[in-house]
Chain A
Amino acid sequence: MSYKKDELLNQLTAALEQIESNLNRVYDLKTETLDLSPALANTEKAKKVASPRDKALVEEFECEIKKFIGVRMTTQNIMKVKEILQRFGSEVSMAKVVQDYSDDEYNAFLKLLEKPETKDCIISLQEERPKPTSREVLKLMLSLKIIDDKNGKIQLTEKGKYLAKVLKSP
């Protein structure tokens, strides 16, 4: 892909963090409405480097989140925003995991997601209580750089941490 994947995903991550921090201000009763302009500035920048289809996904997110401009953040509205953040955040996190995969690696990754033990294994590693996992799955996760082996101890890589975040609440 010729466009700037890193910049796209970094701008979107920044937008998500902006909204998250705004939500925290609502929690702390410092404000009753969300200030979405910094986040929307980030999504604007993201759209400039996005492919047409990625741009459509970003616009879809913007459309959802813009419904909360100037709206009083009731508990119900907070839940709705959290849900949008969770969904779109998961897509961005997954994109961070797969962004440098070749087509073959991407396909192997999709197959890994289909294996029932994958989720358990990754979440248990995140909680530092590893569960027994088949050699085949561990080998695949090693080759996909989801885990690494440091002095005989298996741990999640940065990719693995992003994946754990997604799999915890799909």
Chain B
Amino acid sequence: MGVGKSRKRYIENGRTRPISKAVGVEKAEEEFRHIVIDDENYVRVEVRTYKWSHDGPWDKVDYEPVFWFYEKGSNRPSHAISFSHYGHVYHVNLRSWNRNDFSARFPNEFHTPVLRADRIEIVNGALSRGAYAYAVASLHARQQRPAETSQVQDGLPPNSVEISKEVRNILDNWEGYWNELQER
């Protein structure tokens, strides 16, 4: 995995088209898509940020980014990192990347990326671990119905949003995160 020499290309694909995705039974208002390509190693990182409006603790729109990591030559993500309300969740060796795996945690409010992976690691939280396990249990107890939804927009969510700082941090250091995921 080369670091430093690789030329990173930021592609903003500018498409605005309806996408099909299931996030519990809720609809995301928008999906921001930001793709980073390492030309030399051909590793792709795709950040998809789902925007929800709710009146939760931050009393503002909520952005939930999921980082999808693609191995060389593959069009299926192998790992993912999500945040939402659980801290960093590392989804290692994804078994499924179907959006049906998303679980609505609080109907109309909070949403939880619960992706099927061989291994999950939650950084920083005892309660978060319980909340994630509850989301998994709920997901398997509930029939998830796909929802047709939202617009794809290019770029990242506004910088004023708290979560953006974490997105930026991972984007700036994505190669480190990629290596870390490979080792887990």
Q: Chain A: residues with CB nearer than 8 A to chain B? A: 1, 3, 5, 8-9, 12, 50-54, 56-60, 62-63, 87, 90-99, 101, 103, 106-107, 109-110, 113-114, 116, 119, 166-167, 170
Contact = CB atoms under 8 A, between A and B. Distances in A.
B83 to A, nearest CB: 9
B85 A113 contact: no
A3 B137 CA distance: 26
A91 B130 contact: yes
Contact of A51 (B118, B124, B140, B142): B124
A5 B126 contact: yes
A91 B131 contact: yes
Interface of B: 56-57, 85-87, 106, 110, 118-122, 124-131, 133-134, 136-138, 140-142
Nearest to A104: B119
5 contacts: A12-B127, A94-B129, A106-B133, A110-B120, A170-B137
A58 B86 CA distance: 12
Given A87-B106, A95-B131, A101-B129, 14 more contacts: A54-B124, A54-B126, A56-B85, A94-B129, A94-B133, A94-B134, A95-B129, A98-B133, A99-B130, A106-B120, A107-B119, A107-B120, A170-B137, A170-B142
Contacts of B137: 94, 113, 166-167, 170
Given A57-B127, A94-B130, A97-B133, A51 B87 contact: yes
Given A60-B56, A106-B120, A170 B138 contact: yes
Contact of B85 (A53, A90, A166): A53
Give the top 8 A-B pairs by smallest Cβ distance, nearest first.
A95-B130, A94-B130, A53-B87, A5-B126, A54-B127, A170-B141, A91-B131, A53-B125
A109 B138 CA distance: 14
A52 to B, nearest CB: 7
Interface centre among A53, A97, A166 (most CB of B within 10 A): A53
Nearest to B124: A51
Contacts of A94: 129-131, 133-134, 137
A51 B125 contact: yes
Given A60-B110, A98-B133, A110-B133, A8 B127 contact: yes
Contacts of A170: 134, 137-138, 141-142
A99 B136 contact: no
Contact of A54 (B56, B128, B134): B128
A21 B125 CA distance: 28
Contacts of A116: 140
A166 B140 contact: no
Given A56-B57, A87-B106, A119-B141, A92 B130 contact: yes
B130 A1 contact: no
A50 B130 CA distance: 14
A167 B133 CA distance: 11
Contacts of A110: 120, 133, 136
Contacts of A5: 126
A91 B57 CA distance: 17
Contact of B125 (A54, A90, A114, A119): A54
